Amino acid sequence: MEPVNDAPRDSDEAANESGAGRYAPSPSGDLHLGNLRTALVAWLFARASGRRFLMRIEDLDRARDAGAAAAQLADLAALGIDWDGEPVLQTSRGAAHEAAIAQLAAAGFVYECTCTRKDILAAPTAPHAPPGAYPGTCRDLSDDEREAARARIAPRLPALRLRAPAGESSLAFDDLLLGNVVGDIDDLVLRRGDGTVAYNLAVVVDDDAMGVDQIVRGDDLASSTPRQILLQRLLGLRTVPQLQYAHVPLVLGPGGARLAKRDGAVTLADLRATGVGAAEVRSLLAESLGLAGHGEPVTPDQIVERFDPTALPRAAWAWPGV
């Protein structure tokens, strides 16, 4: 499959060809141990491989922005995680996001969609399609049908979806921690009806612009990666195997479910209130990664020196609580 064009990236997008890792939290609240552990692993991957480590605040979804970015950065710094340059606000990248959508639209890869989530769930899906996959309801409407659909939802605006190329229903990639991963692709949303650019589009454009070639994040996002690889190809951006992916197993709460704030003291502030400081949390996280002995104090430099990605645990870590 050929990209829609091969225009070179601008000076911002070609900022550093030596490569970088990154951490990109949403400012929706305090980081819990699962977030902090993933950030630590992303930092270790970058520092141990001589890459820059960058920070991006993914604040596009204004409804979820609790103004927690400053507190999140302070918590990361308290653990000993440092980064290069100033954190990038994703909201400052709007022009690049819109340019990418325009590029895809010019090549015929974008169409309007007026479906609600309820419409999608109620519609019949194609054989073998995964649950919740977009059934293509608005994909091939005539101009008159599209105009009538817009009128039905006014004053709400249509969303924009990717018209995935024929034959691109799934895609496989090699993950440094999960091995071979196969994921489904459908006509994903590029921009919501409220004007918010979708995560999959923004993350692809921003990682490329920042020179990121090593993407380390929670394994709950692994299923999104095939969609992002498709977008990279269509936009003519760097993609696998030039990009490395590593999806980190999640942290589970005492009950065995994904860790959440309902599990008690799971943020640095919560733990500090119980007498557990940032240095002790760092040691606990390092121990969970096989990089420290039980109760062993470790510095950030020591963790980097011991880091071996091939030896990282492949299973979720259960937080026992305090």
| End position of a domain, from candidates 150, 175, 191 | 191
Nearest Cα residue to 239 out of 209, 197, 208: 208
- Is 62 assigned to a binding site? no
- Supply the mean pLDDT for the chain: 92
- Is 111 assigned to a binding site? no
Cβ contact 286:303 at 8 Å: yes
**What digits encode the pLDDT tens for the residues 213-249?**
999 999 999 999 999 999 999 999 999 999 999 999 9
- Is 261 assigned to a binding site? yes
Q: Which residues are within 8 A (CB) of 191 and not within 5 positions of it... i.e. 6 or more apart?
A: 101, 159, 160, 197, 198, 201
Same domain, 215 and 178: no
Same domain, 121 and 186: yes
| Interatomic CA distance for residues 271 and 292, integer angstroms | 20
- Is 113 assigned to a binding site? yes
Residue type, 171: L
| End position of a domain, from candidates 140, 174, 191 | 191
**pLDDT score, position 129:** 64
- Is 217 assigned to a binding site? yes
**pLDDT score, position 11:** 33
Residue 8 inside a domain? The answer is no
- Is 25 assigned to a binding site? yes
pLDDT reading at 4 higher than 70: no
Same domain, 85 and 107: no
- Is 26 assigned to a binding site? yes
pLDDT reading at 14 higher than 50: no
pLDDT reading at 186 higher than 50: yes
Q: CA-based angle 286:292:294, to the nearest 5?
A: 105
Q: What total number of domains does the chain contain?
A: 2
Task: Return the number of other C-beta atoms located less than 10 Å from residue 219's C-beta.
Answer: 18
Same domain, 203 and 182: no
- Is 288 assigned to a binding site? no
Same domain, 35 and 104: no
- Is 238 assigned to a binding site? no
pTM of the full structure: 0.91
Confidence grade of residue 127 (pLDDT, cut at 50, 70, 90) = low
Same domain, 239 and 302: yes
Confidence grade of residue 104 (pLDDT, cut at 50, 70, 90) = very high
Q: Which residues are within 8 A (CB) of 257 and not within 5 positions of it... i.e. 6 or more apart?
A: none
Q: Mean pLDDT check: name the lowest of 38-52, 71-85, 128-142.
A: 128-142
Residue 10 inside a domain? The answer is no
Residue 223 inside a domain? The answer is yes
Same domain, 243 and 207: yes
| End position of a domain, from candidates 131, 157, 191 | 191
**pLDDT score, position 133:** 83
* Mean pLDDT of all residues in 101-124: 93
Same domain, 267 and 157: no
Per the structure, the complete domain to which residue 62 belongs is given by 20-91+199-317
Same domain, 103 and 167: yes
Q: What is the CATH number of the domain that holds 99?
A: 3.90.800.10
Nearest Cα residue to 207 out of 9, 1, 8: 9
- Is 156 assigned to a binding site? no
Q: What is the CATH number of the domain that holds 254?
A: 3.40.50.620
pLDDT reading at 55 higher than 80: yes
